[in-house]
Every structure is written in structure tokens, then in C-alpha cells.
């Protein structure tokens, strides 16, 4: 199989690293995800990864009387750094050279985000893990993924989830929910399908970057999706 995309952004939620745990990072989930990523890396794909932090801290679930929105968002950004470092370590144990780049300065742990340097790393076959979201409160890591896709000229944003694409309702709650094979950007916003926020969708729409939603935990699925196959939903 030949890859359909040369350079991609892979969006991973913090919950993807959580695995079967209720909180934190699950070793089996990390290993499984790293093996899937290695499969497409071996095909020559240039991979940027944007990781969330919901497995460690979710700003929407904070006690609003104790922690305000901006502080909660900063805490969430720090959580993405923890996840990024864990993913980096696991990928490198699988023989993949990586770099972690942060939107805010953390020299002891990772590089500052510099667009040209990130692109150069990708060209040299390194996987770049982008942490810190957008570096600003009130923006999700979905928006960060869309923004990074624009900045590094990625050909697609791949969002790995626990289900096989975008559904009319949560399929884990309603087994009769309908799965969509294809949607356009406007339909996502109009139907309020909560796969990505409106800012992220708008960024991809304006720059004609397709969003592909797929099940990251189905073995071999990431490789199939990269090659234009597998079960998925394409937003374009």
C-alpha cells in the first residue's frame, strides 16, 4: 500500500493515552499507539502530532469557584507537555527519532516551537510532537492541531478516536447512531457534531485541509487510513 498523504498532523486526545485507566497515562495504550505510528513512519510519512491533556486535567470539569477559566486552560497546557514527553519516550524506545516542541518556553524539557525548525525536523524523518496547545487560553488542542496543519503545510488532519468516525450521536451511548462516510465542513458546524470545535473546523475549511476521523485503537487502521482505505469519516 502506498500512502495517500506525505505530511500529516495526527491529533491525539489525552484520553487516548489513558487507555482503560480512569486517569493518567496507560502503558499499554502508549505502546499500542506508538506501534501504529511507527507503521506509517516506516512508509515515509512526515508526522506531526498534537496531543491533548484531558487524561490529566480537564478545564471544563474544574471547580469554577476555585479555578478560573484562564488558569484552568494554562493547567491543561501543562498537562499536554507531560503527555508529549511520555509519547516521545515510547516512540524513541521503538527506534523513532523525535522532537517535542512547546508553544511556551520549557528549555529543560523541550524545544520552543519554531515553524522552520519543525519543518526541517519533519524533512529529516523525525516525528515532531507539538505540546502546549496554541499557547493561549480559550483555545482547544483541536484548534492547535488545525493551526499546526496550516503552518507546516500538512495535507490532512487525522483525528484518532475510540470510534470509527463521526456519528449522528454518541455510538457508545446509542448503538443505532448513524455513521457518516463523508461530510462537508458546514455540516459539522450546522449539525453541531462535537468532533472538533468550530474554530478548528473553520481553519481547515479556509485552507482546504481535510479532516479524517477514525478509530485509533483498531489494529492497523492508521496505516489503512493513510493509504485511503479503512473505516473512517472524511470532512472536506
The closest alpha carbon to 88, from 100, 102, 101, belongs to 100
Residue 35 located in a structural domain: yes
Give per-10-residue mean pLDDT for the chain (236 aa): 92 89 89 95 97 83 77 92 96 96 92 97 98 93 96 96 83 82 87 84 94 92 92 90
pLDDT for position 128: 98
Domain extent, residue 31, equals 7-235
Residue 12 located in a structural domain: yes
Residue 128 located in a structural domain: yes
CATH code, domain with 60: 3.40.1160.10
Residue 170 located in a structural domain: yes
pLDDT for position 112: 96
Residue 2 located in a structural domain: no
pLDDT for position 19: 82
pLDDT for position 62: 66
pLDDT for position 121: 98
pTM: 0.94
The label of the residue with cell 506525505 reads 6
pLDDT tens digit sequence for 181-234: 999 998 888 877 778 888 999 999 999 999 999 999 889 999 999 999 988 999
Residue 1 located in a structural domain: no
- Mean pLDDT for all residues in the chain: 91
Dihedral sign for Cα 181, 184, 187, 188, please: positive
Residue 224 located in a structural domain: yes
**DSSP H helices in 11-131:** 14-18, 27-41, 69-93, 115-123
pLDDT for position 61: 64
- High-pLDDT (> 70) share of the chain, %: 97
Provide the number of structural domains found in the chain: 1
- Alpha-carbon distance of 180 to 131, in angstroms, equals 30
User: What are the cell numbers at 118?
Assistant: 519543525
Amino acid at each position: 500500500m502506498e500512502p495517500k498523504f506525505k505530511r500529516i498532523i495526527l491529533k491525539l486526545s489525552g484520553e487516548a493515552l489513558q487507555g482503560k485507566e480512569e486517569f493518567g497515562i496507560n502503558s499499554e495504550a502508549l505502546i499500542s499507539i506508538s506501534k501504529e505510528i511507527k507503521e506509517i513512519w516506516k512508509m515515509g510519512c512526515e508526522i506531526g502530532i498534537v496531543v491533548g491533556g484531558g487524561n490529566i486535567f480537564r478545564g471544563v470539569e474544574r471547580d469554577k469557584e476555585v479555578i478560573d477559566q484562564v488558569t484552568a486552560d494554562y493547567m491543561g497546557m501543562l498537562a499536554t507537555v507531560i503527555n508529549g514527553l511520555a509519547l516521545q519516550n515510547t516512540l524513541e524506545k521503538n527506534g523513532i527519532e523525535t522532537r517535542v516542541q512547546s508553544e511556551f518556553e520549557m528549555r529543560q524539557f523541550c524545544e520552543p516551537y519554531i515553524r522552520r525548525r519543525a519543518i526541517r525536523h519533519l524533512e529529516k524523518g523525525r516525528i515532531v510532537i507539538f505540546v502546549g496547545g496554541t499557547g493561549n487560553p480559550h483555545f482547544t488542542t483541536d484548534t492547535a492541531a488545525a493551526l499546526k496543519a496550516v503552518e507546516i503545510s500538512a495535507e490532512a488532519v487525522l483525528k484518532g478516536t475510540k470510534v470509527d468516525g463521526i456519528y449522528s450521536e454518541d455510538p457508545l451511548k446509542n448503538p443505532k447512531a448513524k455513521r457518516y462516510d463523508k461530510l462537508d465542513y458546514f455540516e459539522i458546524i450546522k449539525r453541531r457534531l462535537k468532533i472538533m470545535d468550530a474554530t478548528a473546523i473553520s481553519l481547515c475549511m479556509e485552507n482546504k485541509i481535510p479532516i479524517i476521523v477514525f478509530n485509533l485503537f483498531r489494529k492497523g487502521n492508521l496505516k489503512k487510513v493513510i493509504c485511503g482505505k479503512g473505516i473512517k469519516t472524511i470532512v472536506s
